[in-house]
């Protein structure tokens, strides 16, 4: 079966060359339209004023008398120059001369936009075009810049996520390989049980990591569009998730439009974070109603978070030394979910020790 031949090296520049002739085509089309209008006007003028031979002769005589009164000798060239058709043609040429710079400026902006699209298609994620004026072309350029910035951000996020993922997957995979090697060797039953439990733990860690990576990628790919909004009883939702950890919840009744599945994930991540960093103690969970939403607060009695790291812990795969073996995506997902709902998340140090995490839902924090 025949295959299409790949485009030649010069074909990539063909759209640009075609775009550079756009102003010529528009200008020629305008000249032809004006000339056609001049011809139609001249024919109509002739039909109205010169179709009757007797009337035409009278008008010619009046015209010659007017020329003689001005001292202008009769001449076929002067007659042609002063004819309605010649006047219409000259008007058409004058109009085309005035509109040529305007059309050239417009098509030049379109050429720049085409060059930006071509550069973006060739992999230059920093390609942008200048926004000039306040018309439809300027709006198109602004839309292109916004889309290009979104694509660049998304690609950089995916590259970073891929780099972190390749590193984070290596550790549980190595442990799992060692456990499988232990299970394949003739070892005492106690050692086999330890290796089996370790293998199950590593598989659970891999499953949680992959689940978090997929959710983070989905939230990045469809920012603001991945939500399945519904009326959510936030206090009931937080109480149900807290019951999984045998924790009571106190607070206000709050109902808001939100994605219940994502909110459950955010609250669960905070509770799981508190359990891992403060084992043996129960976190305090509360809900405070605010204008247009609510604040979910989860406080633990763990080692706390240094003030210098209060923002850094919301970055993907950032772990503080000696703070457990989580996936490194729990808190970043909490912040992304909160921002998807028009709010944010932050970590507040406790004067009595531990850390307090807050999620604003429905509006960003002040």
Q: Residues 262, 264, 270, 273: is their CA dihedral positive or negative? A: negative
In the numeric block, which tokens belong to residue 17?
A: 């060359």
Res. 160 pLDDT band, cuts 50 70 90: low
Q: How far apart are CA 67 and CA 108, in angstroms?
A: 48
Res. 196 pLDDT band, cuts 50 70 90: confident
Q: What CATH number labels 230-361? A: 3.30.565.10
Q: How far apart are CA 47 and CA 114, in angstroms?
A: 49
User: Of residues 65 and 239, which shows the higher confidence score?
Assistant: 239
Residues in the chain: 366
Does the pLDDT at position 321 exceed 60? yes
The helix/strand/coil state of 296 is strand
Does the pLDDT at position 13 exceed 80? no
pLDDT of residue 238: 92
Instruction: Sketch the domain layout of the chain as residue ranges.
Output: 14-124, 157-221, 230-361
Top mean pLDDT of 85-99, 123-137, 313-327 is at 123-137
Contact status, residue 347 vs residue 310, Cβ threshold 8 Å = yes
Percent of the chain exceeding pLDDT 90 equals 9
pLDDT of residue 17: 43
Q: How far is CA 75 from the centre of its chain?
A: 70
User: Of residues 98 and 48, which shows the higher confidence score?
Assistant: 98
Q: What is the mean pLDDT of residues 173-188?
A: 84
Closest among 298, 310, 293 to 365, alpha carbons compared: 293
Other CB atoms within a 10 A radius of the CB of residue 135 amount to 10
Other CB atoms within a 10 A radius of the CB of residue 361 amount to 26
pLDDT of residue 172: 76
Contact status, residue 294 vs residue 362, Cβ threshold 8 Å = yes
Q: What is the mean pLDDT of residues 330-345?
A: 87
Res. 225 pLDDT band, cuts 50 70 90: low
User: Of residues 348 and 4, which shows the higher confidence score?
Assistant: 348
pLDDT of residue 10: 42
pLDDT of residue 324: 56
Q: What is the mean pLDDT of residues 204-225?
A: 71
Round the average pLDDT of the chain to a whole number and report it.
Answer: 76
pLDDT digits over 113-149, tens only?
A: 888 888 888 888 888 888 887 878 888 888 888 888 8
Other CB atoms within a 10 A radius of the CB of residue 148 amount to 20
In the numeric block, which tokens belong to residue 167?
A: 């590193």
Residues sharing a CB contact under 8 Å with residue 118, sequence separation 6 or more, in sequence order: 12, 15, 16
Q: What is the mean pLDDT of residues 287-296?
A: 88
Q: What is the mean pLDDT of residues 3-7?
A: 44
Q: Residues 337, 343, 349, 350: is their CA dihedral positive or negative? A: negative
């Amino acid at each position: 079966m025949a295959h299409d031949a790949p485009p030649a090296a010069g074909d990539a520049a063909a759209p640009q060359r075609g775009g550079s002739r756009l102003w010529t085509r528009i200008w020629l089309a305008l000249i032809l339209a004006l000339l056609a209008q001049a011809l139609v006007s001249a024919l109509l003028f002739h039909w109205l004023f010169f179709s009757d031979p007797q009337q035409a002769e009278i008008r010619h005589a009046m015209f010659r008398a007017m020329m003689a009164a001005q001292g202008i000798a009769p001449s076929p060239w002067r007659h042609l120059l002063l004819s309605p058709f010649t006047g219409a043609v000259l008007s058409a040429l004058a109009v085309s001369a005035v509109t040529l710079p305007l059309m050239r400026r417009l098509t030049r902006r379109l050429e720049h936009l085409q060059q930006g699209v071509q550069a973006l298609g060739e992999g230059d994620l920093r390609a942008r075009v200048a926004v000039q004026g306040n018309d439809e072309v300027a709006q198109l350029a602004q839309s292109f810049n916004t889309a290009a910035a979104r694509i660049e951000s998304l690609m950089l996020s995916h590259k970073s996520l891929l780099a972190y993922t390749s590193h984070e997957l290596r550790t549980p995979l190595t442990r799992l390989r060692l456990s499988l090697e232990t299970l394949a060797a003739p070892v005492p039953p106690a050692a086999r049980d330890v290796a089996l439990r370790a293998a199950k733990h590593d598989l659970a860690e891999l499953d949680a990591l992959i689940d978090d990576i997929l959710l983070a990628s989905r939230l990045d790919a469809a920012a603001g569009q991945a939500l399945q909004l519904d009326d959510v009883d936030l206090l009931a939702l937080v109480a149900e998730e807290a019951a999984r950890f045998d924790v009571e919840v106190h607070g206000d009744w709050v109902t808001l439009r939100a994605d219940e599945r994502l909110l459950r994930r955010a609250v669960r991540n905070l509770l799981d974070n508190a359990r891992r960093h403060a084992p043996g103690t129960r976190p305090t969970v509360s809900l405070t109603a605010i204008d247009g939403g609510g604040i979910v607060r989860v406080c633990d009695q763990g080692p706390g978070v240094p003030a210098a790291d209060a923002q850094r812990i919301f970055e993907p795969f950032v772990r503080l030394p000696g703070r457990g073996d989580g996936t490194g995506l729990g808190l970043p997902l909490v912040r992304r979910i909160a921002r998807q709902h028009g709010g944010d998340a932050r970590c507040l140090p406790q004067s009595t020790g531990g850390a307090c995490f807050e999620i604003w839902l429905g509006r960003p924090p002040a």
